[in-house]
Amino acid sequence: MNSDDEEINPVTMLLLNTDNNQLTKNGKTTELAPLPVQDKTYHLTSINSTLTIRQLPSQGLSFQLWPAAETFVKLFDTYKPSNTDPFSVTVTKCANDRKPIRILELGSGTGIVGITAAAILGGEVTVTDLPHVLPNMEYNVELNREVVVSGGGEVRVARLSWGEVGDMEVIGRGYDLVIGSDVVYHDNLYEPLIQTLKFLLLGSGDQGEKEGERVFLMGHLRRWKKESSFFKKVRKMFRVDVVHEDGPSSVSRTGVVVYRFARKDAVFR
């Protein structure tokens, strides 16, 4: 562990169902290897529907649910255009009476956040990640297709390696809102993520939008002190505001924070 890092075990912050994944003997509990498949359900009160997400813990971190993703699910589930909290105001401003809202998610992992957004907002959502992550994401999209379609939404799965010009050009900039949860994790990906955000937020739109209309909502749970270098860099390029903050939890001294990235000259009311 780097001396600059917090003494936090990030694996304990994953939303795994470990009820049947522990061995207790003589009063001592031992964690066993992750189960090959774990399903987690989310009941969305706003549309009275349930989503089911398949996790594959043995395949790696991208196949598991993270705390910031769950925060996004809760925020979308309580969203109303009339709400005055900063998160809701941002979503409403990005929608701008356009139906359906077009959303791009970075580092989607299991796809839960994008699927939720599509189901609740009736949006056209593109969920993205590295090629090896896409099959499980596609499985979850198909598993929840009926709920998404019934809400007027649509989810498309696409490859996006941050910083790769070819991938970014294929994805394009034709979105009203960009989202991501727990994407600031590996420090070797800070710069590729920043380059992707510059492409998406600082470039001109694909479909006639004025520059500066797009924002990036990022859910983040602080784990390492070195993450401050990422925020130091992005604050030089973007306006960065906090639009939501959870309290501490049983696994972290700090809660999930949702940041809003926008052009320096962006105005929010």
Share of the chain above pLDDT 70, in %: 81
> Roughly how many angstroms between the first and final C-alpha of the chain, as a whole number?
42
- Say what the pLDDT of residue 148 is: 97
- Res 32 pLDDT > 60: no
- 128-185 pLDDT, tens per residue? 999 999 999 999 999 999 999 999 999 999 999 999 999 999 999 999 999 999 999 8
Radius of gyration of the chain (CA): 18
Considering only 48-62, 73-87, 109-123, 246-260, which range has the smallest mean pLDDT? 246-260
The top-level CATH class assigned to 10-262 is: alpha beta
- Say what the pLDDT of residue 254 is: 78
Q: How would you write 152-199 as a 3-class SS string?
A: CCEEEEEECCCCCHHHHHHHCCCCCEEEEECCCCCHHHHHHHHHHHHH
- Say what the pLDDT of residue 143 is: 97
Q: Is residue 119 within 8 Å of residue 113, measured between CB atoms?
A: no
- Res 248 pLDDT > 90: no
- Res 265 pLDDT > 60: yes
